[in-house]
Amino acid sequence: MICIGVANQKGGVGKTTTAINVATALAATGWRVLLVDLDPQGNASTGLGVGQAQRSHSSYDLLTAQCSLADAVVPTKVPRLDLVPATVDLSGAEIELVEMDQRTHRLRNALAGAPGRWDICLIDCPPSLGLLTINAMVAADSLLVPLQCEFFALEGLSQLLQTIDRIRARFNPALAILGVALTMYDRRNNLTEQVAEDVRTCLGGVVFDTVIPRNVRLSEAPSHGVPALIYDHRCPGSEAYIALARELIGRLPPSARAA
């Protein structure tokens, strides 16, 4: 199972929207997908229609070894897409984990518990660079970084890149940046265009060609408890996520691809 962390320490840049819709697009093309909701806000869980009643086991229990991966997983309405939901307990985990041994490797160890059941795992990270995101970076083969085209986008990115370097040096030398996805792209906005150009100049080929447009359908879907790709699979946002998933598959090692 290949593992991809969806990370950016800024909130509201499109991590969860990207995680849900890329996961759905991959599942639609035949991949068996596991999405781990690692944000105490649980937006990925809500967005996939997994309510509190279905969260008797969660990513918190998994990290604190109170349940197995098999116990923590719930199916979603999307065929081939399973979820480890998040609950608010997770907000205490940043502090509780500090005291635990293997504190940076707890997710990695937990995911090793079900080899072969999924082809790919996506981890929806919280908006911080604390122990939860570090657990995702230690567990991941690579990172998908959503970036909103706004003025401070690049500043936040340098902090993220520093953290990635530190994780590589200490825990996970093979951690790669699979790609940076420009989100909430608004062609009518000159600043968007300018920032996108700066980001491409600065980061080069790591930036995906596909950009995710600002599209109200993407923001409406979560309140219906389904991915945008199911809510309205022909809206510009859904079409962009299908294209992004295709581009992403092209960047994965051939051995990772589903049959």
Question: What is the Cα 35 distance to its own chain's centre?
Answer: 8
Shortest gap between Cβ of 130 and Mg ion (angstroms)? 14
Size of the site for ligand ADP (CB under 6 A): 18
Among 211, 212, 226, 230, binds ligand ADP (CB under 6 A): 212
Query: Which residues, 41 to 80, sit near ligand ADP by CB under 6 A?
Result: 43
What string marks each residue from 163 to 202 as x (binds ligand ADP by CB under 6 A) or -? --------------------xx------------------
Angle between helices 190-203 and 153-170 (to 10 degrees): 30
Q: Cβ(81)–Cβ(33) under 8 Å?
A: yes
Question: Which residues share a beta bridge with 83?
Answer: 35, 74
Shortest gap between Cβ of 12 and ligand ADP (angstroms)? 4
Which residue's entry shows tokens 């265009």? 193
Q: Which is nearer to Mg ion, 32 or 59 (CB)?
A: 59
Among 32, 55, 108, 214, binds ligand ADP (CB under 6 A): 214
- E strands, 69-189, where? 74-75, 81-84, 120-124, 142-148, 176-185
Burial class (CB in 10 A: 0-12, 13-18, 19+), 197: exposed
Among 13, 81, 136, 145, binds ligand ADP (CB under 6 A): 13
Q: Using CA atoms, how far apart are residues 9 and 224, in angstroms rounded to an integer?
A: 26
Should residue 14 be labelled a site residue for ligand ADP when binding is judged by CB under 6 A? yes
Q: Which is nearer to ligand ADP, 64 or 230 (CB)?
A: 230
Should residue 17 be labelled a site residue for ligand ADP when binding is judged by CB under 6 A? yes
Tokens of 107: 């997710």
List residues binding ligand ADP (CB under 6 A): 11-17, 43, 127, 183-184, 212, 214-215, 218-219, 222, 237
